[in-house]
Structure 1
Amino acid sequence: MRAITVNRYGGPETLELTEVDDPKVGPDSVLVRVKAAGVNPVDWKIVAGYLDSIMYIHFPLVPGWDVAGVVEAVGQDASEFSVGDEVFGYVRKDEVQHGTYAELVAAPVRTLARRPASLTWQQAAGVPLAGLTAWQSLARVGVASGDTVLVHAAAGGVGAFAVQIAVAKGARVIGTASERNHDFLRSLGAEPVTYGDGLADRVRWLAPEGVDAAVDYVGGDAVAVSQELLKDRSRIASIANPEVTERGGHHVWVRPDSADLAELARLADAGKLDVHVEQALPLAEAAEAFDRSKSGRTRGKIVLEVGHVD
């Protein structure tokens, strides 16, 4: 099969389109014929060696954790799916080597759910990591109907999902973003505020009594500012600042979860979760996808088209 492979740590220049052996399918896994693979910042960070201290990473490495595709074979104890099922998933395994930037991927059933019928292959591939991150961080701080939620980096890949999920739960959402993204946030159901100096005052103008929960997808001083505004300082989750735990909040590292993926699919099919794909590139242009992701200026998702997509 064709796959993007890496043989050493480095930048986008290390990515090569090569022929590799088809993956083996374990008892609790299925073989997925990949239609599209989502691109996330963690992908280029792994290739750069930034996660070497916390994960076992092996070369040659096929990057990628997000996938949308069709089940082509089923393991001996993988009765959750059948050949021909259309699936999407966050295929993060305990060790990093056999990723989703490939024509085929062996995916444990715990990492998959059925693809939302309302989404294209490209959109479905853009959901798993970012959507699960948003879902699980909001769950960690107990967002519910009637809450006022502050979402930092609300126009980004994770933030846009968090806004829509919180709105679907019946929450009021205040989202930070640059002014050029304010109309985009309004279209998702959020009240936008500009980040930077004076953020706390701008949020207080919208919510004089404070906010009920906050989620941080950007780092910096977001946790500290949020705790100035929170009624309960423990209702803050961050994916970008591990020190949040020292301040009484929650540090979130997204986990594969079939049930959570199914909930995201349900929201999408109910018309409550839209996926903005900024750019879809062919597999051979994975290096360009890395460059775009590293720029930090994308709104929505970047995906790689691997197989034929309708």
Structure 2
Amino acid sequence: MAEKWIAPEFGGPEVLTMVETDVPSPAAGEVTIDVRAIGVNPTDYKELASGPEQALPKSVGYEVAGVISAIGPDTAIASGGGVIGDPVVAFRIDGGYASQVTVPAKSVFAKPDTIDFPAAANLMLAGGAAAEALHVTRVGQGDTLLVHGASGAVGVSVLQQARNLGATVIGTASEHNFPLLRHFGAIPVMYGPGLTERVREASPGGISAAIDAVGTDEAVDTTRELLTDLSRAVTIVPSDRSQRASIPSIGATAPASAAYRDAARPQLLEMAADGELEVPIARTFPLSQAREALDLLRGGHAGGKLALIP
């Protein structure tokens, strides 16, 4: 029997209920994973809030890291091979808030030895969003990129991936997060009144692209003022204001976004394996404290990625 969190009704994290469940043996094309860590993401609590009644009870969790405990006949994982005992990463899956899962083998990849289970379980969702944002804004060698919300999970991944592309990055954050941004090669600027002028001072030659990972009016207004070509801007937190400003948006529920992010998985793992992509973990929680972890994340003061540990 495995432990698993489900939502029998819609609401906040408080609606989550722990149940014991039989995990099916893997059929052809499937893999069973003993979960060692689970990524905790804003999408987890957002999808608890509402939806069609026929979706209940709802499973939670898109990404996990663990060890293969069973593998279906004539089956190989997405990165090739795969035997019992291999450490792996799985994304995009359903029902990851569990101690054991059986999932499609096409969603399972070998875990890089260079990152631990909590970091591996938080690599793909934020990393895929960052990769797509950089793709949409066409960031490359010689660009100067402005990242709003640079200290968040997606922002931190953007900083590292943009650096690998040869771009100069200016990141907005609170002052206590400046050391984090500098660690990943970005020029930090304080958000708040006067942001536009501070960005101009940090980049006298202007900016060539902008990624909004925070969704504030300030981010929209600053981007509009500083960026001539708004086709090289994107937000992952669309709003009425960003739509009126004609700033493109991306999201994992859009088919094109999902396809791009899935295709980016091998590259993200390769970067992590080469030490070019870190996932800062702020805190881990026992699986039994999933509600507390989501409450902390929802409050906006997690200070980095969170992981559940069965």
Identify whether the pair has TM-score above 0.5, normalized to the shorter chain.
yes
Query: 1:47-93 CA distances to partner (integer Å, 9 max, x unpaired)?
Result: 122xx27xx8622222111111122333456433423332213224x
| 1:279 paired residue number | 283
Q: Distance in 1 between matches of 2:54 and 2:60?
A: 10
SS of the counterpart of 1:251?
coil
| 2:229 paired residue number | 232
Query: 1:116-156 CA distances to partner (integer Å, 9 max, x unpaired)?
Result: 21000011111111111111111111111111111111001
Asked if 1:63 corresponds to 2:64, the answer is no
Unaligned runs of 5+ in 1: 93-97
RMSD over aligned CA atoms reads 2.1
Please show how residues 152-171 of structure 1 align to structure 2 within 5 Å: 152-171=148-167
| 1:125 paired residue number | 121
Asked if 1:18 corresponds to 2:19, the answer is yes
| 2:102 paired residue number | 106
Unaligned runs of 5+ in 2: 253-257
The structural deviation recorded for 1:262 is 1.8
The structural deviation recorded for 1:160 is 0.8
Query: 1:182-205 CA distances to partner (integer Å, 9 max, x unpaired)?
Result: 111111111011112221111111
- Sort the Cα spacing of 1:107 and 1:214 in 2 relative to 1 into closer, same or farther, 3 A: farther
Bigger RCO (CA 8 Å, 6+ sep): 1
Q: Distance in 1 between matches of 2:140 and 2:12?
A: 41
AA matched with 2:82: S
Q: Distance in 1 between matches of 2:27 and 2:304?
A: 34
Please show how residues 127-146 of structure 1 align to structure 2 within 5 Å: 127-146=123-142
Please show how residues 76-225 of structure 1 align to structure 2 within 5 Å: 78-80=75-77, 81-84=81-84, 85-92=86-93, 98-221=94-217, 222-225=219-222
SS of the counterpart of 1:273?
coil
SS of the counterpart of 2:156?
helix
Query: 1:236-260 CA distances to partner (integer Å, 9 max, x unpaired)?
Result: 1111015546644431113264541
Q: Distance in 2 between matches of 1:235 and 1:59?
A: 39
Asked if the contact 2:182/2:188 (under 8 Å) is kept, the reply is yes
Identity across aligned pairs (percent)?
38
Asked if the contact 2:23/2:102 (under 8 Å) is kept, the reply is no
AA matched with 1:215: I
Q: Distance in 1 between matches of 2:296 and 2:89?
A: 23
Asked if 1:2 corresponds to 2:3, the answer is yes
Q: Give the TM-score of the pair, scaled to structure 1.
A: 0.88
| 1:95 paired residue number | none
AA matched with 2:56: F
AA matched with 1:83: V
Query: 1:18-41 CA distances to partner (integer Å, 9 max, x unpaired)?
Result: 201214646443222211100011
The structural deviation recorded for 1:8 is 0.8
AA matched with 1:219: G
Q: Distance in 2 between matches of 1:75 and 1:24?
A: 8
